A and B are shown apart, each in its own frame.
Chain A
Amino acid sequence: MDFLLQGFLQGFFLLLSGDPETYSAIWATVAASTMAMIASLTLGIPLGFLLGHKSFRGKKIVRTLVDTLLSFPTVVIGLLVYAFLTHRGPFGGAGLLFTLPAIAIGQTILGLPVIIAMTATAVEALDKRLPMTLITLGANSRQILWATVVEARFSIMLAAVSAYGRIVSEVGISMMVGGNIKWHTRTITTAISLETGKGEFAMGIALGMVLLTVALTVNIMASGLKRKAVK
């Protein structure tokens, strides 16, 4: 039991003392998750908009598929990305395996369904007269997309926060395609997994606290943005 308190205190110590191993893991976590978030948002918002806005044949099937992908196990995503990136795989020549971009690719697959599904729901929930009004005002389809996204911005921000929560806390993908290489692809979660494997439970708790602190910082920044958006 005593490792809980010890880990809690150690977590603050690691952050305040500027421990290089911890900050290297924080950097790896932030870098991979930022790349994954940018990719998820740039791909996911337009796709989610299309899914919520347009009606087409098989829309229900696509919707069910996207909702199912919300439950995609991270280890399976890791395996799939590994299969594509291994030197014997189709994209082996890119030399991406065991790098941060490889982790980001996997995490994008993890975050994308969250963004698509929640954006689609948000767009569907908007006043049905909005697109009609925009068309009457002579908006083209890109302007409709932009105006809709602006209207649904809080729900989309919620989608982003949810996706970020999933991405930043996953361990299966990072372990599988990142390889947990010290100073390079060791993220906070793979470090926790390693420390627990080494029997250093207090260190595992400490790193867990560090991850929560990072997440807290990101969420404070996001809510700051939200306040700005309201003004």
Chain B
Amino acid sequence: MKRFTAPALCLLLVLTLALPALAADKTLLMATTTSTANTGLLDELIVPMYLKDTGVEIKFVAVGTGKALKMAEGCDVDVVLVHAPDAEKAYVDSGVLMDRRELMYNDFVIVGPTADPAGIKGMSVINALKAIEGAQAVFTSRGDNSGTHQMEQSLWTSAGLAIPEKQIWYVQTGQGMIATINVAAEKNGYTMTDRGTYIKYADTKGGNPPMVVLVEGDTVLFNQYSGLAVNPAKCPNVKYDMAKQYIDWMASPAVQQAIGNFKLLGKPLFTPNAK
């Protein structure tokens, strides 16, 4: 008898864990970016609201946009919520993703220490980046091919500068946004972040953060989030209908309004703009 106990227990454990997975028709698997997860938008608003409205549980994996798109390519998720329009369009063109729908936006800002060693406060993005390069001030970059990282790289290019890949003052963290802001704060340097994550960061510092917004409002800093469904023609295993339903739900007036009302420190984190 004793000899069979361990394998039997093992089998039982595997079964109890596997059963919910087999019966999991009521779940939708989504890959999304760290910004939507870290701000609490998904955990506190979208996931519970969707469960209430439709009875479907959203399971999300929060990674950089680059990896989220790769997961879609591997047929490992049903839907993505990301913010890198050029990369998204490339995936739509290659047939991996479809039904791209713009859902909400926030904007990128350049943040730095209150002392502002490179004197960039109030500048345009392009002048600010030139000033940072001129002063050799520390600039921390995500360095992880995320949506924010892709945006930052395109800004160096549009400022007519080479991406300062090997410069000693250019620090690539390879980590999430808040971790990257923390590195910048430790090194008395600058970084670029989406505003939603910055507000969350300010909130964790008790509303009195050592890093402040120095450059904002430039039109090039616009940060569009979109939902895309994984193409069932490429990935027969995905739940296309449910993915489509979810994206349309995100674009519905009630949800759009709820996104606009989602605030931290009295400030909205995302602005809805579905058409």
Q: How far is the CA of A100 from the CA of B178 in the complex (A)?
A: 28
> Within 8 Å of chain A (Cβ to Cβ): is B119?
no
Q: How far is the CA of A179 from the CA of B62 in the complex (A)?
A: 8
Inter-chain contact total with CB atoms closer than 8 Å? 75
Assess the A87–B17 pair: CB atoms within 8 A. no
Q: Contacts A31-B13, A38-B10, A197-B34 known; A179 to B61 CB distance under 8 Å?
A: yes
Q: Which residue of B lies closest to A37 (CB)?
A: B10
Assess the B182–A199 pair: CB atoms within 8 A. yes
> Within 8 Å of chain B (Cβ to Cβ): is A198?
yes
Q: Which residue of A lies closest to B29 (CB)?
A: A98
> Within 8 Å of chain A (Cβ to Cβ): is B237?
yes
> Within 8 Å of chain A (Cβ to Cβ): is B186?
no
Q: How far is the CA of A180 from the CA of B18 in the complex (A)?
A: 17
> Within 8 Å of chain B (Cβ to Cβ): is A95?
yes
Q: How large is the interface on A (under 10, 10 to 19, 20 to 34, 35 or more residues)?
A: 20 to 34
Interface centre among B14, B76, B178, B200 (most CB of A within 10 A): B76
Q: Contacts A39-B10, A182-B43 known; A197 to B176 CB distance under 8 Å?
A: yes
Assess the B61–A180 pair: CB atoms within 8 A. yes
B residues with a Cβ closer than 8 A to A are: 6-7, 9-10, 13-14, 17-18, 21, 29, 34, 37-38, 43, 47, 59-62, 74-76, 175-176, 178-179, 181-182, 200-201, 204-205, 235, 237
- With beta carbons under 8 angstroms apart, the residue of B43, B175, B205, B237 that contacts A197 is B175
Which residues on the B side are within 8 Å of A194 (C-beta)? 37, 62
- List 8 additional A-B contacts (Cβ < 8 Å) besides A38-B13, A98-B61, A101-B17: A35-B14, A38-B9, A42-B10, A92-B75, A181-B60, A182-B59, A184-B59, A194-B62
Q: How far is the CA of A89 from the CA of B76 in the complex (A)?
A: 10
Q: How far is the CA of A98 from the CA of B58 in the complex (A)?
A: 13
Show 24 A/B contacts (Cβ-Cβ < 8 Å), sorted by A: A35-B13, A38-B6, A38-B9, A38-B10, A38-B13, A39-B10, A42-B6, A87-B75, A87-B237, A88-B74, A88-B75, A92-B75, A95-B237, A98-B29, A101-B18, A180-B61, A180-B62, A181-B59, A184-B59, A197-B38, A197-B179, A198-B178, A199-B178, A199-B205
CB distance from B40 to the nearest CB of A (A): 8
> Within 8 Å of chain B (Cβ to Cβ): is A196?
yes
> Within 8 Å of chain B (Cβ to Cβ): is A34?
yes
Q: How far is the CA of A99 from the CA of B14 in the complex (A)?
A: 11
Q: Which residue of B lies closest to A93 (CB)?
A: B237
Which residues on the B side are within 8 Å of A31 (C-beta)? 13, 17
CB distance from B28 to the nearest CB of A (A): 12
Q: Which of chain A's residues 64-90 have a Cβ closer than 8 Å to chain B?
A: 86-89
Q: Which residue of B lies closest to A32 (CB)?
A: B17
Assess the B29–A198 pair: CB atoms within 8 A. no
